[in-house]
Each structure stands twice: as structure tokens, then as C-alpha cells.
Amino acid sequence: MAKKPVSPPVFLRPPAFGAVPALDHLMAQAQALQHAGRAGEAERVYREVLRREPRHVDALHSLGMLAFQVGHPQIAADLIGQALAVDPHDAVVHGNLGYVLHVLGRHDEALQSLERALALRPGMLEALNNRGNTLSALGRHEEAIASFDRALSVRPDYVEAAYNRGNALHAAGRLVQALAAYDAVIAARADIAQAHNNRARVLQDLGRQDEALAAYERAVALAPTYAQAIAGRGTARLALKDAAAALADFDAALRIDPQHASAHEGRGGALFALRRWGDAVPAFTRCLEIAPTRLDARLQRGNALHELRRHEDAIADFDTVLAATPGVAGVACNRGNALLALKRYDEAALAFERVLALDTAYPYALGKRVHAQMMACDWRGLDALVAQVHAGVEHGRAVIEPFAYQAIAADPMWLRRCAELFAADQFPPQAALVAPGQRLGNARIRVGYLAGEFRNQATSILAVELFELHDRQRFEIVAFDNGWDDGSTVRRRMNSAFDEVVSIAALPDDEAARAVADRRIDILVNLNGWFGLGRTGVFARRPAPVQVNYLGFPGTLGAPYLDVIVADAQTIPAGEEGAYVERVVRLPHSYQPNDRQRAIGAPTTRAEQGLPDDAVVFACFNNTYKITPETFASWMRILAAVDGSVLWLLQDNDAATRNLREAASSHGIAAGRLHFAPRIRLDDHLARHACADLFLDTLPYNAHTTASDALWAGLPVLSCRGTSFPGRVGASLLHALGVADELLVDDVAAFESRAIELARDQARLAHVRERLARARTTAPLFDTPACCAALERAYEAMLVG
């Protein structure tokens, strides 16, 4: 908000009566009319004086001030300048010209005029005051403070100078002194709304938002149509997390002043906080139409566009901000996030490298750079970067998010430390809506599943039949949807499976948590964890007596408000409970449910998939970030040992494809032996598994849904048992399918040997395929009713404690 000077223009010089009696009479008449507010009549009289005496100093000066008063400052400056051309030694006229030039924004010229006034009359209070305002406008705040001090030394009760001194102290960053200055003004004159408003702004800068809100309230009480104070109250309310009340304030300010840029910006911020990103964007846009250089508004619009998945538009805004302020690490980081969302991983890695160059300790930027490079399979300098990440986690720094860390860390205790750091930093516990373990007395157990992916996505593809099979005599199930309905078959099935689907995507955490608590949910299940469109902030408010970490994130969430993690004996072996903040509850076979209705599309051929007919085809359809240099080197040794064999990978992004082919060449494997499968519809993707011979798993992060897809489609998955939950999912699936003896090994050397043996012994591999085909209808992995029953027993036990 602009800090406007309180004092009016000097306008103190009386007319010099006595020179020409007739003109004296006209001047007196004109001034009387002017003071009476009859500007048009006064102007006509002043012009009559100038018709008779064109160089009449007082008439030129007074007519200029009249022009200023009716809103024509440029005409005023011209007329006052003519007066000074006639008499350059009049301090009052110099002072008034300085004020008019200040209002015109011609601050250097204004300062010159005010300096001339003070040279002629050193103790001229109004000139000292206005000189201070002009110096502040020029950014010379310390000199401005000195000018105000000089005025106050002459007249200590000069409230206008004291007020403007507070403005200059605030602008100079001397917040405590600024607050004292405003307090002194208010002590002298408690009715100055501007003083209360600007005092509130200082309190906000000091982080004292509650006091700021009270100060804004006082300003609004004194001046109910004071748009700046109403908008300021909105900013305080927004800082205090009351976005709805803040929005009402910004709307009220804009009804008074539709051109109030800060109110439009604040309105956008409130809408953003309310998760109404589609409404926030036009609010920020309106602000930028009024004030195109408002970088904060442009940055916030970029953030809203990013949330709306309009990532290209977001990047354009971030680029504009960075062009003006290239040293702002946060903007560079936001730009990197948008590039990640666009799968432009090589560019994202460079963006995060820029962030780290600007601020080596910028939160999570190092981990984002590592993740972007791994998504692009760009392993240059990766060892050193990963070592920095481990050191950061060890020393408790915010270097990487838990999801990205799982791809590079194999020690479950390190993974726990990372999760605890992230949870405490990003989602600390809030006031609980429900007591842990509280009995709600529902006739049936109410289970709430909260996720951002109730659509055609991996977690839902696994769990949709589980939802359908819940025993409705004993359970009610509610979906709390933080995503959207994509119209897919999976979503339609879930819409039918749940007793209620509650959209929380547009609700702030407080309201979303209240939506859970209002439905008296006994058990709230977090299907995201640190993956995807999760809402950990809802769980932080404890809206349910029992809160469960299940399926979406293979590891501890590190948060004290998550009570239970659902696992199995393979993913969390006995004795390793200490690596999990949650209490470990194990299902009898695999923790992972499966949908037996996953359709497999029409058969396809190798030729149709671009694969050689006569080669051994190894496959891995994992996301590229799971492919570490060590895993890839192992694959290359397998290809080298199996003549003519090829490796079939997921086509995720061009940078990864290019880098993987280059990496193959560096291992002495022709780049043409790598084939890439584009993303296609799930049923067709399952069908093309028949074209491969053996799926090769990854470490330290195994295939999860991808492995279940392969096994459901009849493709053997060779996995190496890892040392953490995400590295033991392969073991979980293969044990539950009854084929761990053939397809699970315990070290990389055995992994390579087994892959080579199976590739060279097609009869043995065919036997494994036959076992898989039989297990598809008999093994626990695909016995979804038994999995559902086991989970329901676990839920009942959780409520007992």
C-alpha cells in the first residue's frame, strides 16, 4: 500500500495587497470563492486578474493551486512555474511547486524545488515535511528521517511529520522504531485511520498478526470506507489462516475501490488458500492488468496455474518473474516443479541446479534435482549428489522429500529419518478434532479412504475390487476424493462401491478434516502417504480415532498422527518395527490387493510391438526414476551374456530414452538392443506382456503395481530382495504367488545368474509360466476376497487397540 503524506500542500502565502487596488479586490474575491469551494467562479476571477496583469505572481500561483485542488497537477505545475519565473525568491511558491511535482512523480525536480524553498526559509515546516516524503519516494529513507526530525525539532507536536517519519522508518526497515513512531502519533491523535493502518502493516512485518488484525479493525472503525485498511485486514486474516474471512474483506475493499491492485492480489491469495485455483487465476490477472509490474501477483498466478495443471502458462509467469529478479531461488524452484510436471526432466534438473547455485540450502532443491536427473536417467555426478543427500538427511536438513528418497536409499532407518523430518517440517500436528482411540459408537465400522487418485491410476487399479468386496453388514466405506472423476471404468466402479464419495479437492485442510469428523469415521486410511495428490494436512488434524498408512506409500510417513502401517511379513520382517513410526499390522500374505477384473486386451505380436521374433526379450516397465546406474549395469551384463537378447523398457520421456541408449553403448551394448514401449491403455498394456520372456526388477525400489500387472498377465518377474519396504515388494508378491523359489533371489550376483539361466533354458522358463497361470486362480496374491477379509479383521483389531 502506498504511504501517502498526510500534510496538504503548503498554500500559505497570502496575496500581496496594496499594489493595484482593483486587482487586490479581485484577488480577495477569488480567494474567498476558492475557500468557499466555488472553484469555477474563482478561476474566472483569477483569469480576469491575469488578463489585466499577465505577470501577476499571486494570481499565477493561486490559479495553479486551484488547478491542483481540482485534479490538474500538470496545469498547476506550469502555472506555479510561471509565477516563479516572475519572482524566483518566494519560498512558499517553491514549496508548493515541490509538492505538486512530488504528486506528479517527478521526484528529483520536486526535491530541487523543496531545497530552494528551504534555502530561502530554513525553518519552513511544510517544506521539511514534504522534502522528507520526496526523499522517501527516491528511496533515500535515512535522509527523509533526518528531514522529518528537523521539522519535529522545530515543532514537536507536528503530527503530520511524525506520521510520515513512521512511514520512512518502516521503509528503511527500522520496524521497532516505526512502530514507536506510529504509537506516538496515535497517542497524540487517535483518530488518524492511516496511522492505525500503517501501524498494522509494521506489526505484520514483525510477525505479530493478531495485533495487526486489531490495528486494522481500529482503522476500519475510524474510516469504514477505507479500502486500504479493509484490504489490509484481509491480509492479516489470510496470514492467520482465515481465508474465507480474508476473501470477504478483499471483496469489500474492491466494492469501494475496484482498481485496488493489492486487494485483487490478496483476493487471489485467499482463493488459492481455499484451493479455488480456477478463481484465483483471474483475480491475479486483474491485479496484473492494473499493476503489470506486481511480481508477487505474477508469481502467485504461476503457482495457481501450476495447481490447475496449466504448467506451460505457469512457466511463462515464472520466467517473467525470474527475468526481473533472477536471484530468487524460490521462483526458480517453482519453475522446476512445473517442468517436472511436464516431464521435461532434463530442463527440470537444470532448473534445480540453478536453485542450488542461488541458495545451496534451499529446502528440498537438492532432492528435486536428484529426482529429475533420475527421471531423465541422467546419472552424471549422481554419486556425489546422492552422497550430499545422505549427509543432509543425517544432519537433519530439508534436502529431499521421502518419495524421492526411496529410490536412492536402502536403509529403512534412513527412510524413517527422512520421513520424520519432512512430516515435522511440512505437516506438524494440529489441534485434534477427535481423540486417538475414541469410540464413536457407530453401528457399523465406518472406514474412510482418502486419496487423490480415485481414477485410472495404479493405486486404484489395485484396490478397486477391494472396495467392492467390503462386507456391508459390518462396514460402511466413504471415499474422500482429493482428485477428480476421470470418467474411467475404474472410477465408475468406485462410485458404485462406496457408500459416499466426498470431494475434498477444493476444501482447505480444516474443512476437509471437518468433513471427515462430521461423518464419524472410525478408521481413516491414507492411500497416498508421500505420493501423489495426498492430503497429509487432513490427517494432521486427527479427524478420526484410528489413522492408517496403507498401499500408496511403501514406508513410514514419520508422523505421530498416523497410528498403523499395513504391511506383511516380507515387506516388514519381524524385528524391523523400529524403522516405522506407525504400529505395524501385517496381513497374512501380501499387503497388496489386486483387481481380478483387470481385462487383458486382444493378443498382439512381437512384430506389432517392434520387437525381434527370435530374441530373448527382457522387460521392465517401471518408471524411469527406479532405474539406478547399478541396476542398469546389471541389466547390461545380462544382455552381454545372452546373445541377441533385447531389453524392453517404458517410453516415459525423450531424455531418459536418449540417456539410456547412450548408457547402453557405454557398456558395450548396441543401443538398438534397447526397445521402448509407449504408454497405452491398460488392457492393451497387459496384453503386450505376452511378447516378453522375463521381467527384470529394480533396486532399491522394486516394481509394485507394475509387477502385479506383469504377474497377472503371466509374465515372470525376477526380483532381488531389498533391505527396505519398497525393495521387498517383489518378495511379497512372489511369496504370495508361490513362485519365490524360482523368481526371488537375495543378491545382485544371483539375480544376474538366475536371469541368464532362465533365458538360456526356455523349458524351465515355460514351466515357470505354467506355474504362474495356475497360481492366477489359486494363489493368495489374487484371492481378493481373502485379502479383503484379512484387512477387515485388521480394521476390527485396530479399533480394539
Asked whether 506 and 476 are in contact (CB, 8 A), the reply is no
What is the distance of C-alpha 277 from the center of its chain? Answer: 11
SS (H, E, C) 352-364: HHHHHHHCCCCCC
pLDDT at 24: 83
**DSSP states along 362-408:** -TTHHHHHHHHHHHTT--TTHHHHHHHHHHHHHTT-----HHHHTTT
Pairwise CA distance, residues 729 & 738, whole Å: 14
pLDDT digits (tens, 9 = 90+) for 356-407: 999 999 999 999 999 999 999 999 999 999 999 999 999 999 999 999 999 9
Query: Averaged over 279-306, what is the pLDDT?
Result: 96
- Among 269, 276, 207, which Cα is nearest to 234's? 269
Judged on CB neighbours under 10 Å (0-12, 13-18, 19+), 334 is buried
Neighbouring CB atoms inside 10 A of 17's CB total 13
- Same-domain check for residues 491 and 633: no
pLDDT band of residue 10 (cuts 50, 70, 90) is very low
State the angle between helix axes of 295-307 and 277-290 in degrees (0 to 180), rounded to the nearest 10: 160
State the angle between helix axes of 382-394 and 365-375 in degrees (0 to 180), rounded to the nearest 10: 140
Pairwise CA distance, residues 745 & 535, whole Å: 37
Neighbouring CB atoms inside 10 A of 476's CB total 20
Q: What is the CA radius of gyration of the chain?
A: 36
* Tally of structural domains, the chain: 3
Q: Does residue 633 sit within a domain?
A: yes
**DSSP states along 751-769:** HHHHHHHHHH-HHHHHHHH
Judged on CB neighbours under 10 Å (0-12, 13-18, 19+), 184 is middle
- Among 246, 249, 213, 243, which Cα is nearest to 230's? 249
- Same-domain check for residues 547 and 654: no
- Same-domain check for residues 768 and 629: yes
Q: Does residue 680 sit within a domain?
A: yes
- Same-domain check for residues 554 and 628: no
Q: Which of 129, 155, 189 is the endpoint of a domain?
A: 189
SS (H, E, C) 559-607: CCCCCEEEECCCCCCCCCHHHCCCEEEECCCCCCCCCCCCCCCCCCCCC
Neighbouring CB atoms inside 10 A of 582's CB total 23
Q: Does residue 389 sit within a domain?
A: no
Pairwise CA distance, residues 518 & 202, whole Å: 40
Q: Does residue 588 sit within a domain?
A: no
- Same-domain check for residues 702 and 558: no
- Same-domain check for residues 176 and 47: yes
Q: Which of 143, 167, 189 is the endpoint of a domain?
A: 189
Q: Which of 189, 206, 225 is the endpoint of a domain?
A: 189
- Same-domain check for residues 551 and 653: no
Which residue bears the cell 498403523? 564
Q: Give the H or E element holding residue 676.
A: strand 674-677
Q: Does residue 744 sit within a domain?
A: yes
- Same-domain check for residues 648 and 768: yes
> What is the C-alpha end-to-end distance of the chain, expressed in Å?
56
Quote the Cα angle for 406-628-606, to 5°.
115
Query: Distances from the Cα of 497 to the Cαs of 450, 455, 469, 472, 549, in angstroms?
Result: 14, 13, 8, 10, 21
Q: Does residue 13 sit within a domain?
A: no
Sequence-ordered list of residues with C-beta below 8 angstroms from that of 44, at least 6 positions apart, any chain = none
Identify the bridge partners of residue 447 per DSSP, sorted by sequence position. Answer: 477, 523
- 36-40, 412-416, 578-582: least confidently modelled range: 36-40
Pairwise CA distance, residues 497 & 442, whole Å: 20
Which residue bears the cell 480577495? 28
Query: Averaged over 212-223, what is the pLDDT?
Result: 98
Query: Averaged over 546-556, what is the pLDDT?
Result: 98
Q: Does residue 304 sit within a domain?
A: no
Mean pLDDT of the chain: 95
- Same-domain check for residues 543 and 648: no
pLDDT band of residue 23 (cuts 50, 70, 90) is confident
Domain that residue 693 falls in:
617-785
- Same-domain check for residues 743 and 661: yes
Pairwise CA distance, residues 743 & 91, whole Å: 96
Cell of 575: 524385528
Pairwise CA distance, residues 786 & 791, whole Å: 9
Look up the pTM and report it.
0.85
pLDDT digits (tens, 9 = 90+) for 83-92: 999 999 999 9
Pairwise CA distance, residues 67 & 353, whole Å: 57
The three-state secondary structure class of 225 is: coil
- Same-domain check for residues 771 and 655: yes
pLDDT band of residue 21 (cuts 50, 70, 90) is low
**Dihedrals φ, ψ of 548, to 5°?**
-120, 135
Cell of 359: 541458495
Residue 484: which CATH number? 3.40.50.11380
- Same-domain check for residues 557 and 622: no
pLDDT at 252: 98
pLDDT digits (tens, 9 = 90+) for 471-514: 999 999 999 999 999 999 999 999 999 999 999 999 999 999 99
Pairwise CA distance, residues 458 & 195, whole Å: 57
The three-state secondary structure class of 646 is: strand
Asked whether 33 and 197 are in contact (CB, 8 A), the reply is no
Residue 56: which CATH number? 1.25.40.10
The three-state secondary structure class of 449 is: strand
Which residue bears the cell 544432519? 395
Quote the Cα angle for 380-664-336, to 5°.
35
The three-state secondary structure class of 48 is: helix
pLDDT band of residue 463 (cuts 50, 70, 90) is very high
pLDDT at 35: 87
pLDDT digits (tens, 9 = 90+) for 100-123: 999 999 999 999 999 999 999 999
pLDDT band of residue 80 (cuts 50, 70, 90) is very high
pLDDT band of residue 12 (cuts 50, 70, 90) is very low
pLDDT at 22: 75
Residue 638: which CATH number? 3.40.50.2000
pLDDT digits (tens, 9 = 90+) for 328-348: 999 999 999 999 999 999 999
**DSSP states along 778-797:** HSGGG-HHHHHHHHHHHHHH
Pairwise CA distance, residues 32 & 28, whole Å: 6
Q: Does residue 288 sit within a domain?
A: no
